[in-house]
Structure 1
Amino acid sequence: MFTLDSNQTLLISCLVLLIGVGTYLTYFRQQSTITSLDEKIEAKKEEKKKIRTLQADLADAESRFKTARRRWRTQYKTVPETISSPDIVAYLTELTQTGFKRFDITSSGSEDRDGYSVHTFSAAGEAFFTNLYRFVWTVENNRPFYRVRDLELTYLEQRETDEETGRTTMDVLVSFQREVQAIYGAAEEIGDETQPSDGREVERLPVAQSPSSPPLPSSVLPNPA
Protein backbone atom coordinates (compact mmCIF):
# COMPACT_ATOMS: atom_id res chain seq x y z
CA MET A 1 0.00 0.00 0.00
CA PHE A 2 1.25 3.43 -0.98
CA THR A 3 1.89 5.70 1.98
CA LEU A 4 3.13 9.30 2.19
CA ASP A 5 6.03 10.17 4.32
CA SER A 6 6.40 13.51 6.06
CA ASN A 7 8.40 15.11 3.22
CA GLN A 8 5.85 14.22 0.58
CA THR A 9 3.08 15.48 2.78
CA LEU A 10 4.91 18.77 3.20
CA LEU A 11 5.47 19.10 -0.53
CA ILE A 12 1.83 18.34 -1.30
CA SER A 13 0.71 20.86 1.30
CA CYS A 14 2.99 23.51 -0.23
CA LEU A 15 1.66 22.70 -3.68
CA VAL A 16 -1.94 22.99 -2.54
CA LEU A 17 -1.10 26.26 -0.79
CA LEU A 18 0.53 27.66 -3.97
CA ILE A 19 -2.47 26.62 -6.03
CA GLY A 20 -4.81 28.31 -3.56
CA VAL A 21 -2.78 31.50 -3.48
CA GLY A 22 -2.53 31.52 -7.27
CA THR A 23 -6.27 31.01 -7.60
CA TYR A 24 -6.96 33.83 -5.13
CA LEU A 25 -4.61 36.22 -6.90
CA THR A 26 -5.95 35.31 -10.33
CA TYR A 27 -9.69 35.32 -9.68
CA PHE A 28 -10.04 37.77 -6.79
CA ARG A 29 -7.10 40.14 -6.27
CA GLN A 30 -6.23 40.66 -9.98
CA GLN A 31 -9.89 40.84 -10.92
CA SER A 32 -10.33 43.67 -8.46
CA THR A 33 -7.31 45.44 -9.96
CA ILE A 34 -8.62 44.91 -13.49
CA THR A 35 -12.03 46.26 -12.49
CA SER A 36 -10.39 49.32 -10.95
CA LEU A 37 -8.35 49.91 -14.13
CA ASP A 38 -11.46 49.51 -16.29
CA GLU A 39 -13.23 52.11 -14.16
CA LYS A 40 -10.30 54.52 -14.55
CA ILE A 41 -10.25 53.96 -18.31
CA GLU A 42 -13.97 54.69 -18.53
CA ALA A 43 -13.50 57.81 -16.42
CA LYS A 44 -10.76 59.01 -18.78
CA LYS A 45 -13.01 58.34 -21.77
CA GLU A 46 -15.80 60.36 -20.17
CA GLU A 47 -13.34 63.16 -19.40
CA LYS A 48 -12.19 63.21 -23.03
CA LYS A 49 -15.81 63.35 -24.18
CA LYS A 50 -16.45 66.31 -21.89
CA ILE A 51 -13.33 68.07 -23.20
CA ARG A 52 -14.43 67.53 -26.80
CA THR A 53 -17.90 68.81 -25.92
CA LEU A 54 -16.42 71.89 -24.24
CA GLN A 55 -14.19 72.53 -27.24
CA ALA A 56 -17.18 72.31 -29.55
CA ASP A 57 -19.17 74.63 -27.27
CA LEU A 58 -16.25 77.08 -27.21
CA ALA A 59 -15.98 77.09 -31.01
CA ASP A 60 -19.74 77.63 -31.28
CA ALA A 61 -19.64 80.43 -28.69
CA GLU A 62 -16.76 82.14 -30.53
CA SER A 63 -18.68 81.91 -33.79
CA ARG A 64 -21.83 83.37 -32.21
CA PHE A 65 -19.76 86.11 -30.54
CA LYS A 66 -18.19 87.11 -33.88
CA THR A 67 -21.63 87.17 -35.50
CA ALA A 68 -23.10 89.24 -32.66
CA ARG A 69 -20.17 91.65 -32.72
CA ARG A 70 -20.45 91.99 -36.48
CA ARG A 71 -24.18 92.69 -36.20
CA TRP A 72 -23.57 95.24 -33.46
CA ARG A 73 -20.93 97.08 -35.46
CA THR A 74 -23.14 97.20 -38.53
CA GLN A 75 -26.61 97.43 -37.02
CA TYR A 76 -27.38 100.79 -38.66
CA LYS A 77 -25.28 100.32 -41.79
CA THR A 78 -26.53 99.76 -45.33
CA VAL A 79 -24.52 97.24 -47.32
CA PRO A 80 -25.35 97.05 -51.04
CA GLU A 81 -25.05 93.80 -52.94
CA THR A 82 -22.78 95.46 -55.52
CA ILE A 83 -21.03 98.80 -55.83
CA SER A 84 -19.12 100.50 -58.64
CA SER A 85 -15.95 102.57 -58.56
CA PRO A 86 -17.69 105.67 -60.01
CA ASP A 87 -20.28 105.52 -57.21
CA ILE A 88 -17.56 105.35 -54.56
CA VAL A 89 -15.53 108.15 -56.12
CA ALA A 90 -18.63 110.33 -56.45
CA TYR A 91 -19.59 109.78 -52.81
CA LEU A 92 -16.12 110.54 -51.47
CA THR A 93 -15.67 113.53 -53.76
CA GLU A 94 -18.96 114.98 -52.57
CA LEU A 95 -17.65 114.87 -48.99
CA THR A 96 -14.47 116.76 -49.92
CA GLN A 97 -16.00 119.78 -51.63
CA THR A 98 -15.20 122.11 -48.72
CA GLY A 99 -11.88 122.57 -46.94
CA PHE A 100 -9.80 120.29 -49.17
CA LYS A 101 -6.95 121.82 -51.18
CA ARG A 102 -6.22 118.57 -52.96
CA PHE A 103 -7.87 115.14 -52.93
CA ASP A 104 -6.38 112.36 -55.08
CA ILE A 105 -7.98 108.94 -55.02
CA THR A 106 -6.85 105.68 -56.66
CA SER A 107 -8.55 102.29 -56.69
CA SER A 108 -6.55 99.44 -55.14
CA GLY A 109 -9.05 96.78 -56.23
CA SER A 110 -11.62 94.54 -54.57
CA GLU A 111 -11.16 91.64 -52.19
CA ASP A 112 -13.54 88.92 -51.02
CA ARG A 113 -13.48 88.26 -47.29
CA ASP A 114 -15.42 86.15 -44.82
CA GLY A 115 -19.04 86.91 -45.71
CA TYR A 116 -18.49 90.24 -47.45
CA SER A 117 -16.36 92.09 -50.02
CA VAL A 118 -14.16 95.17 -49.72
CA HIS A 119 -13.28 97.72 -52.39
CA THR A 120 -10.21 99.65 -51.24
CA PHE A 121 -9.12 103.10 -52.41
CA SER A 122 -5.91 104.95 -51.62
CA ALA A 123 -6.48 108.63 -50.93
CA ALA A 124 -3.97 111.44 -50.48
CA GLY A 125 -4.09 115.21 -50.44
CA GLU A 126 -4.15 118.35 -48.33
CA ALA A 127 -6.99 119.72 -46.22
CA PHE A 128 -7.77 121.88 -43.23
CA PHE A 129 -7.68 119.65 -40.18
CA THR A 130 -11.24 120.43 -39.10
CA ASN A 131 -12.59 119.49 -42.53
CA LEU A 132 -10.53 116.31 -42.63
CA TYR A 133 -11.78 115.42 -39.16
CA ARG A 134 -15.36 115.97 -40.33
CA PHE A 135 -14.72 113.80 -43.41
CA VAL A 136 -13.40 110.87 -41.35
CA TRP A 137 -16.25 111.14 -38.83
CA THR A 138 -18.87 111.25 -41.61
CA VAL A 139 -17.39 108.29 -43.49
CA GLU A 140 -17.24 106.19 -40.33
CA ASN A 141 -20.70 107.11 -39.00
CA ASN A 142 -23.00 107.58 -42.00
CA ARG A 143 -25.19 104.65 -42.98
CA PRO A 144 -23.20 103.73 -46.12
CA PHE A 145 -20.64 101.22 -44.87
CA TYR A 146 -17.21 102.81 -45.35
CA ARG A 147 -14.08 102.55 -43.21
CA VAL A 148 -10.93 104.67 -42.99
CA ARG A 149 -7.69 102.78 -42.41
CA ASP A 150 -4.00 103.68 -41.96
CA LEU A 151 -4.50 107.43 -41.74
CA GLU A 152 -1.19 109.34 -41.75
CA LEU A 153 -1.02 113.09 -41.17
CA THR A 154 1.72 115.67 -41.67
CA TYR A 155 1.47 119.16 -40.20
CA LEU A 156 1.32 122.14 -42.55
CA GLU A 157 0.06 125.67 -42.04
CA GLN A 158 -1.44 128.42 -44.12
CA ARG A 159 -1.04 132.09 -43.21
CA GLU A 160 -3.16 134.86 -44.68
CA THR A 161 -2.76 138.60 -44.14
CA ASP A 162 -5.75 140.91 -44.31
CA GLU A 163 -4.86 143.81 -46.62
CA GLU A 164 -7.06 146.28 -44.75
CA THR A 165 -6.21 145.46 -41.15
CA GLY A 166 -2.76 143.95 -41.68
CA ARG A 167 -3.67 141.10 -39.34
CA THR A 168 -2.28 137.67 -40.12
CA THR A 169 -4.33 134.57 -39.50
CA MET A 170 -3.11 130.97 -39.53
CA ASP A 171 -5.14 127.91 -40.45
CA VAL A 172 -4.05 124.40 -39.53
CA LEU A 173 -3.47 122.52 -42.76
CA VAL A 174 -2.44 118.87 -42.94
CA SER A 175 -1.34 116.58 -45.69
CA PHE A 176 -2.75 113.08 -45.43
CA GLN A 177 -2.51 109.57 -46.78
CA ARG A 178 -5.05 106.86 -46.01
CA GLU A 179 -7.09 103.95 -47.23
CA VAL A 180 -10.85 104.13 -47.62
CA GLN A 181 -12.73 100.82 -47.73
CA ALA A 182 -16.22 100.39 -49.15
CA ILE A 183 -18.06 97.31 -47.87
CA TYR A 184 -20.54 95.50 -50.12
CA GLY A 185 -21.94 92.07 -50.94
CA ALA A 186 -22.38 91.15 -47.28
CA ALA A 187 -24.67 88.43 -45.95
CA GLU A 188 -28.07 89.54 -44.68
CA GLU A 189 -27.10 89.26 -41.04
CA ILE A 190 -24.23 91.71 -41.52
CA GLY A 191 -26.10 94.60 -43.01
CA ASP A 192 -29.80 95.04 -42.36
CA GLU A 193 -31.49 97.97 -44.03
CA THR A 194 -34.61 97.43 -41.92
CA GLN A 195 -32.87 98.52 -38.74
CA PRO A 196 -34.49 101.52 -37.01
CA SER A 197 -33.38 104.89 -38.35
CA ASP A 198 -34.45 108.49 -38.10
CA GLY A 199 -34.97 108.51 -41.86
CA ARG A 200 -31.98 110.65 -42.74
CA GLU A 201 -28.25 110.25 -42.88
CA VAL A 202 -25.85 111.99 -40.54
CA GLU A 203 -24.33 114.82 -42.53
CA ARG A 204 -22.31 116.80 -40.02
CA LEU A 205 -20.21 116.46 -36.96
CA PRO A 206 -21.93 117.57 -33.78
CA VAL A 207 -18.68 119.37 -32.92
CA ALA A 208 -18.92 121.36 -36.15
CA GLN A 209 -21.76 123.36 -34.63
CA SER A 210 -19.45 124.54 -31.85
CA PRO A 211 -16.88 127.31 -32.28
CA SER A 212 -14.18 125.06 -30.89
CA SER A 213 -12.20 122.80 -33.22
CA PRO A 214 -11.34 119.15 -32.65
CA PRO A 215 -8.02 118.61 -30.86
CA LEU A 216 -4.95 118.09 -32.99
CA PRO A 217 -3.10 114.80 -32.57
CA SER A 218 0.30 115.32 -30.94
CA SER A 219 1.97 113.56 -33.87
CA VAL A 220 0.74 116.30 -36.21
CA LEU A 221 1.87 119.29 -34.20
CA PRO A 222 5.20 120.87 -35.25
CA ASN A 223 8.24 120.43 -33.05
CA PRO A 224 9.02 123.53 -30.98
CA ALA A 225 12.05 125.47 -32.14
Structure 2
Amino acid sequence: MDRRQLIRSAAMDLAFLMENLPALLRAAWTTAWLTLATLVLSTLIAIPLAVSGLRRETPLSRGLAAASTLMRSIPTLVILFLVYYGLPQIGIVLPALATALVGLTLSAVAYTMEILRAGLKSVDSGQYEAAGALGLPAWLIWGRVIYPQALRVIVPTWLSNATLVLKGTSVASIITIPELTAIANEIVSETYRPFEILLSTAAIYILLGSVLALAARVSARRWSHP
Protein backbone atom coordinates (compact mmCIF):
# COMPACT_ATOMS: atom_id res chain seq x y z
CA MET A 1 0.00 0.00 0.00
CA ASP A 2 1.55 3.31 -1.16
CA ARG A 3 1.41 6.61 0.67
CA ARG A 4 -1.65 7.93 -1.16
CA GLN A 5 -3.60 4.80 -0.35
CA LEU A 6 -2.61 5.11 3.30
CA ILE A 7 -3.74 8.73 3.38
CA ARG A 8 -7.02 7.84 1.67
CA SER A 9 -7.62 4.98 4.11
CA ALA A 10 -6.86 7.20 7.11
CA ALA A 11 -9.22 9.87 5.78
CA MET A 12 -11.98 7.29 5.37
CA ASP A 13 -11.41 6.03 8.92
CA LEU A 14 -11.55 9.57 10.28
CA ALA A 15 -14.74 10.30 8.35
CA PHE A 16 -16.26 7.09 9.70
CA LEU A 17 -15.39 8.02 13.27
CA MET A 18 -16.69 11.57 12.90
CA GLU A 19 -19.95 10.21 11.50
CA ASN A 20 -20.50 8.00 14.53
CA LEU A 21 -18.94 10.19 17.20
CA PRO A 22 -22.15 12.14 18.02
CA ALA A 23 -23.99 8.89 18.82
CA LEU A 24 -21.14 7.75 21.06
CA LEU A 25 -21.04 11.10 22.87
CA ARG A 26 -24.79 11.02 23.49
CA ALA A 27 -24.37 7.52 24.89
CA ALA A 28 -21.47 8.73 27.03
CA TRP A 29 -23.78 11.36 28.51
CA THR A 30 -26.24 8.58 29.46
CA THR A 31 -23.38 6.63 31.02
CA ALA A 32 -22.23 9.67 33.00
CA TRP A 33 -25.78 10.40 34.18
CA LEU A 34 -26.32 6.78 35.22
CA THR A 35 -23.01 6.80 37.10
CA LEU A 36 -23.80 10.03 38.94
CA ALA A 37 -27.36 8.98 39.81
CA THR A 38 -26.12 5.62 41.11
CA LEU A 39 -23.46 7.28 43.26
CA VAL A 40 -25.90 9.80 44.74
CA LEU A 41 -28.65 7.28 45.51
CA SER A 42 -26.31 4.63 46.89
CA THR A 43 -24.65 7.21 49.16
CA LEU A 44 -27.96 8.55 50.46
CA ILE A 45 -29.06 5.00 51.29
CA ALA A 46 -25.68 3.97 52.71
CA ILE A 47 -25.32 6.88 55.16
CA PRO A 48 -28.01 5.78 57.67
CA LEU A 49 -27.01 2.13 57.19
CA ALA A 50 -23.36 2.91 57.96
CA VAL A 51 -24.29 4.91 61.06
CA SER A 52 -26.60 2.13 62.26
CA GLY A 53 -23.90 -0.46 61.65
CA LEU A 54 -21.46 1.31 63.97
CA ARG A 55 -23.08 -0.15 67.06
CA ARG A 56 -21.26 -3.30 68.05
CA GLU A 57 -22.83 -6.65 68.77
CA THR A 58 -26.42 -5.66 68.10
CA PRO A 59 -28.82 -7.64 65.90
CA LEU A 60 -29.06 -4.66 63.55
CA SER A 61 -25.30 -4.27 63.12
CA ARG A 62 -24.82 -8.01 62.60
CA GLY A 63 -27.67 -8.10 60.09
CA LEU A 64 -26.26 -5.15 58.15
CA ALA A 65 -22.80 -6.72 58.09
CA ALA A 66 -24.23 -9.99 56.78
CA ALA A 67 -26.34 -8.22 54.16
CA SER A 68 -23.34 -6.18 53.03
CA THR A 69 -21.22 -9.29 52.63
CA LEU A 70 -24.01 -11.03 50.74
CA MET A 71 -24.61 -8.16 48.32
CA ARG A 72 -20.90 -7.70 47.64
CA SER A 73 -20.63 -11.36 46.67
CA ILE A 74 -23.33 -11.11 43.98
CA PRO A 75 -22.24 -9.84 40.54
CA THR A 76 -23.87 -6.61 39.41
CA LEU A 77 -25.29 -8.33 36.33
CA VAL A 78 -27.09 -10.91 38.47
CA ILE A 79 -28.58 -8.17 40.66
CA LEU A 80 -29.71 -6.32 37.55
CA PHE A 81 -31.40 -9.43 36.18
CA LEU A 82 -33.09 -10.08 39.54
CA VAL A 83 -34.54 -6.57 39.46
CA TYR A 84 -35.42 -6.71 35.76
CA TYR A 85 -37.24 -10.04 35.93
CA GLY A 86 -38.18 -10.12 39.62
CA LEU A 87 -40.05 -6.85 40.11
CA PRO A 88 -42.69 -7.60 37.44
CA GLN A 89 -43.41 -10.86 39.28
CA ILE A 90 -44.70 -8.82 42.23
CA GLY A 91 -46.54 -6.31 40.09
CA ILE A 92 -43.87 -3.60 39.92
CA VAL A 93 -43.10 -2.60 36.35
CA LEU A 94 -40.45 0.08 35.89
CA PRO A 95 -39.01 1.72 32.79
CA ALA A 96 -35.75 0.18 31.65
CA LEU A 97 -33.68 3.15 32.82
CA ALA A 98 -35.25 3.09 36.29
CA THR A 99 -34.68 -0.67 36.45
CA ALA A 100 -31.01 -0.19 35.63
CA LEU A 101 -30.70 2.53 38.24
CA VAL A 102 -32.29 0.35 40.93
CA GLY A 103 -30.05 -2.61 40.09
CA LEU A 104 -26.85 -0.56 39.97
CA THR A 105 -27.76 1.24 43.19
CA LEU A 106 -28.42 -2.01 45.05
CA SER A 107 -25.04 -3.28 43.90
CA ALA A 108 -23.24 -0.08 44.91
CA VAL A 109 -24.90 0.41 48.31
CA ALA A 110 -22.99 -2.41 50.00
CA TYR A 111 -19.60 -1.07 48.88
CA THR A 112 -20.53 2.51 49.74
CA MET A 113 -21.74 1.47 53.18
CA GLU A 114 -18.39 -0.18 53.93
CA ILE A 115 -16.52 2.91 52.75
CA LEU A 116 -18.60 5.17 54.97
CA ARG A 117 -18.39 2.84 57.94
CA ALA A 118 -14.60 2.61 57.65
CA GLY A 119 -14.39 6.40 57.55
CA LEU A 120 -16.62 6.82 60.59
CA LYS A 121 -14.69 4.18 62.52
CA SER A 122 -11.47 6.08 61.81
CA VAL A 123 -12.70 8.82 64.16
CA ASP A 124 -11.59 8.06 67.71
CA SER A 125 -14.48 7.19 70.01
CA GLY A 126 -13.19 9.79 72.44
CA GLN A 127 -14.37 12.46 70.01
CA TYR A 128 -17.97 11.33 70.50
CA GLU A 129 -17.58 11.28 74.27
CA ALA A 130 -15.86 14.67 74.47
CA ALA A 131 -18.48 16.33 72.27
CA GLY A 132 -21.27 14.74 74.29
CA ALA A 133 -19.69 15.89 77.55
CA LEU A 134 -19.82 19.46 76.26
CA GLY A 135 -23.56 19.12 75.87
CA LEU A 136 -23.57 19.41 72.08
CA PRO A 137 -26.71 18.11 70.35
CA ALA A 138 -26.36 14.98 68.21
CA TRP A 139 -26.78 16.80 64.89
CA LEU A 140 -23.98 19.20 65.79
CA ILE A 141 -21.70 16.38 66.95
CA TRP A 142 -22.11 14.58 63.63
CA GLY A 143 -22.07 17.67 61.43
CA ARG A 144 -19.20 19.60 63.02
CA VAL A 145 -17.09 16.96 64.77
CA ILE A 146 -17.47 13.49 63.29
CA TYR A 147 -18.13 13.94 59.57
CA PRO A 148 -15.38 16.53 58.89
CA GLN A 149 -12.80 14.09 60.28
CA ALA A 150 -14.33 11.01 58.64
CA LEU A 151 -14.40 12.68 55.22
CA ARG A 152 -10.60 12.61 55.09
CA VAL A 153 -10.87 8.82 54.82
CA ILE A 154 -14.16 8.61 52.96
CA VAL A 155 -13.74 11.01 50.04
CA PRO A 156 -10.66 9.54 48.28
CA THR A 157 -11.96 5.97 48.62
CA TRP A 158 -15.45 6.99 47.53
CA LEU A 159 -14.08 8.59 44.37
CA SER A 160 -11.98 5.52 43.61
CA ASN A 161 -15.10 3.39 43.97
CA ALA A 162 -16.88 5.76 41.57
CA THR A 163 -14.59 4.48 38.81
CA LEU A 164 -15.87 0.95 39.45
CA VAL A 165 -19.45 2.23 39.31
CA LEU A 166 -18.67 3.91 35.98
CA LYS A 167 -17.42 0.66 34.48
CA GLY A 168 -20.31 -1.24 36.04
CA THR A 169 -22.86 0.81 34.11
CA SER A 170 -21.91 -1.15 30.99
CA VAL A 171 -24.05 -4.07 32.20
CA ALA A 172 -27.11 -1.87 31.63
CA SER A 173 -26.62 -2.54 27.93
CA ILE A 174 -28.08 -6.01 28.57
CA ILE A 175 -31.52 -4.48 29.21
CA THR A 176 -31.32 -2.14 26.20
CA ILE A 177 -30.28 1.03 28.01
CA PRO A 178 -28.67 3.29 25.36
CA GLU A 179 -25.47 3.78 27.30
CA LEU A 180 -21.99 3.77 25.80
CA THR A 181 -21.41 0.03 25.49
CA ALA A 182 -24.89 -0.60 24.07
CA ILE A 183 -24.60 2.07 21.38
CA ALA A 184 -21.09 0.91 20.48
CA ASN A 185 -22.39 -2.63 19.98
CA GLU A 186 -25.25 -1.34 17.83
CA ILE A 187 -22.88 0.59 15.58
CA VAL A 188 -20.58 -2.42 15.27
CA SER A 189 -23.48 -4.68 14.29
CA GLU A 190 -24.57 -2.18 11.62
CA THR A 191 -21.16 -1.31 10.16
CA TYR A 192 -19.06 -4.44 10.83
CA ARG A 193 -16.16 -2.23 11.82
CA PRO A 194 -15.53 -3.16 15.45
CA PHE A 195 -11.95 -1.95 15.83
CA GLU A 196 -12.53 1.76 15.27
CA ILE A 197 -15.76 1.88 17.29
CA LEU A 198 -14.52 -0.14 20.25
CA LEU A 199 -11.26 1.79 20.32
CA SER A 200 -13.21 5.06 20.41
CA THR A 201 -15.48 3.65 23.12
CA ALA A 202 -12.46 2.64 25.20
CA ALA A 203 -11.03 6.15 24.78
CA ILE A 204 -14.26 7.71 26.08
CA TYR A 205 -14.29 5.37 29.09
CA ILE A 206 -10.65 6.24 29.76
CA LEU A 207 -11.48 9.95 29.60
CA LEU A 208 -14.40 9.61 32.02
CA GLY A 209 -12.37 7.38 34.33
CA SER A 210 -9.43 9.77 34.23
CA VAL A 211 -11.63 12.60 35.49
CA LEU A 212 -12.65 10.47 38.47
CA ALA A 213 -9.08 9.28 39.06
CA LEU A 214 -7.82 12.87 39.00
CA ALA A 215 -10.52 13.90 41.47
CA ALA A 216 -9.49 10.99 43.72
CA ARG A 217 -5.82 12.04 43.66
CA VAL A 218 -6.63 15.69 44.31
CA SER A 219 -8.97 14.81 47.17
CA ALA A 220 -6.41 12.43 48.66
CA ARG A 221 -3.89 15.28 48.81
CA ARG A 222 -6.52 17.73 50.02
CA TRP A 223 -7.84 15.51 52.81
CA SER A 224 -4.51 13.99 53.86
CA HIS A 225 -3.83 16.99 56.08
CA PRO A 226 -6.04 18.32 58.86
Band the TM-score falls in, shorter-chain normalisation: under 0.3
Structure with the larger helix share: 2
TM-score (norm 1): 0.25
* Larger RCO (CA within 8 A; separation ≥ 6): 2
TM-score (norm 2): 0.25
